[in-house]
Each structure stands twice: as structure tokens, then as C-alpha cells.
Amino acid sequence: MLQGKGDAAHEAAVAANVAMLMRLHGHEDLQANAQTVLEVLRSGSAYDRVTALAARG
């Protein structure tokens, strides 16, 4: 999924959860948050970020 190849149900579940976490950190608009999450997931940049963090140890 992090490489932009997840199915819609999994993407929606992740987007809903992350949107709520974003709200806890000051991003109030849940719909906009979920859209941002979906864009990041579908772009594959989430995978790039995770692998970069893992490489740092």
C-alpha cells in the first residue's frame, strides 16, 4: 500500500485513521486530511519516507 498499490478499502481505512491523528495535531478538516493521506499513499512517497527512516537506523 505504501508504494501506491493498495486496494481502496485499505486506503480508506488508513486515510480515516491518519486523518484523525492529523486532527489531534491541529489539522481540523477531516475530509481534507483524508484526501491528503490518499494523495500521499497513491504517490508512493509514503514508501520512500519509510525506507529513508529505516535506513537511518
- Entry pTM: 0.85
**Residue % of the chain over a pLDDT of 90:** 91
User: Residues in the chain with pLDDT < 50?
Assistant: none
Q: What pLDDT is recorded for position 41?
A: 94
Please say whether the beta carbons of 30 and 20 come within 8 A. Answer: yes
User: What is the helix, strand, coil percentage profile of the chain, to 5?
Assistant: 75, 0, 25
Domain regions of the chain by residue span: 8-55
**Residue % of the chain over a pLDDT of 70:** 100
Helix (H, G, I), strand (E, B) or coil at 48: helix
Please say whether the beta carbons of 54 and 9 come within 8 A. Answer: no
Helix (H, G, I), strand (E, B) or coil at 6: coil
Q: What pLDDT is recorded for position 57?
A: 80
